[in-house]
Amino acid sequence: MNIKTVKRTLANVTFPAMWHTKSYLLTRPFFSGLGSILMFHRVCPEQPGPRIRGNSGLEVTPEYLEATIKYFMRNDYEFVSLDRIYEILNGKPSGKKFVAYTFDDGYVDNFTHAFPIFKRYNIPFSIYVTTNFPDREAVMWWYLLEDLVLEKKNIEWTFEGHTRKFSCATEADREMTFHRLRTEFSKSDGSLAQNHLIRFFESHQIDPHLKSRELALNWEQIAEMSGHPLVTLGAHTVSHPALNKLTDRDVIQEIEQSREKIQTWTGRKVEHFSYPFGTRAEAGEREFAIVKSCGFKTATTTRPANIFPGHRYHKECLPRILINEKRDNREIQYLDLWTHGLLPCILNKFTRVVTA
Ligand SMILES: [Zn+2]
């Protein structure tokens, strides 16, 4: 079974079965915890035309974002900032379950689409900024690659002396080519590989920094949001590397430089961090220890789980629930499967306090 079939089965068969049998109520007392930290990337209206699923999964529509807010209001959650989570974990709970909204990377639609919604509902939210985004130095290869895959009949990729050809003829080919090239690109991390990627796109007459000009927040927008009481800005490194592939010195540099730059532009202290990619394949014990020694109040991963009192001792690696409108077939009730802990319980093999 390929990935696409697995995802379709989840959305069309497994999620409805789990939801209609109300099996998520069984896990609620044990796996819903104190609350959830949600993870988003982009908030933007549905784009017309063909898309690559891997990227469109990073996006929710403004309507869906609003639907999640109403869901948590209906379920009597407290909407909290990351500072408040720090307090809750240090022994000041409010009695209600909490939810925190977080956005990774620093896309411009966080300012144009999400910020007005959060202001309307008076709800705090956080953005973890990769500083290469507003510096216009990021090579957003995942969006450049999407355009290329949708435009070409086939693509040649040469790395370490090996040339491979990928077909983009059918929809299935395009999904597969995107998936395979994404794996290749992610494997080839570091500045040398970055230069290689830049040359790859330039050889197709594509400006490698085009998407960061189109899609990233600029510093003026970041500075404006930082002055708003609902907004927390966190660091997300300079260049969004897989930190476990770097030396200790480079990890510290990626973290501290991004923090200092955001502080300089906003005049505010940056006390929260999120790990690029954030899975076990990119961030683990060494990275958690370094981030802790840098003195952040909290740091978040992308391990899928809710937050428990035991996270008091693991504030440098708090798990999050990814919100993916497409995965959930736009059905807001499937959030029950995450917030009540059924899916986290299965995915984490019955571990409650998910850390490393
Ligand atoms: Zn990220």
Say whether both 184 and 238 belong to one domain.
no
Say whether both 112 and 260 belong to one domain.
yes
**Is residue 221 assigned to a domain?**
yes
**Is residue 11 assigned to a domain?**
no
CB neighbour list of residue 83: distance below 8 Å, 6 or more residues apart:
232, 271, 297
**Is residue 38 assigned to a domain?**
yes
- Please list the alpha-helical segments (H only) found in 102-170: 109, 115-121, 141-151
Phi, psi of 249 (to 5 degrees): -60, -45
Rounded distance from Cα 240 to ligand 1 centre (Å): 6
Rounded distance from Cα 276 to ligand 1 centre (Å): 5
A 10 A CB-CB count for 91 gives 8
DSSP state of 218: P
Domain that holds residue 70: 24-47+55-137+217-326+335-347
**Is residue 237 assigned to a domain?**
yes
Rounded distance from Cα 27 to ligand 1 centre (Å): 30
Identify the sign of the CA torsion 186, 188, 192, 196: negative
Q: Using an 8 Å Cβ cutoff, are 131 and 240 in contact?
A: no
Q: Which residue has the tokens 């999050």?
A: 320
Q: Which residue has the tokens 């996006």?
A: 59
Residues whose beta carbons lie less than 5 angstroms from ion ligand 1: 104-105, 276
**Longest Cα pair distance anywhere in the chain, in angstroms?**
59
Q: Can you name the residues that pair with 167 across neighbouring β-strands? A: 154
| pLDDT tens digits in sequence order for the chain, 356 residues long | 455 566 666 667 777 777 777 777 777 888 889 999 999 999 999 888 888 988 888 999 999 999 999 999 999 999 999 999 999 999 988 889 999 999 999 999 999 999 999 999 999 999 999 999 999 998 899 999 999 999 999 999 888 788 989 999 999 999 999 999 988 887 665 666 778 889 999 999 999 999 999 999 999 999 999 999 999 999 999 999 889 989 999 999 999 999 999 999 999 999 999 999 999 888 999 999 999 999 999 999 999 999 999 999 999 999 999 998 888 778 898 899 999 988 898 888 888 888 87
- Among 181, 208, 235, where does a domain finish? 208
Nearest CA to 330 among 96, 124, 60? Answer: 60
Rounded distance from Cα 203 to ligand 1 centre (Å): 26
**Is residue 286 assigned to a domain?**
yes
Q: In angstroms, rounded to a whole number, what is the distance separating the alpha carbons of residues 253 and 265?
A: 18
Structurally, the chain folds into a number of domains equal to: 2
**Is residue 356 assigned to a domain?**
no
Say whether both 152 and 203 belong to one domain.
yes
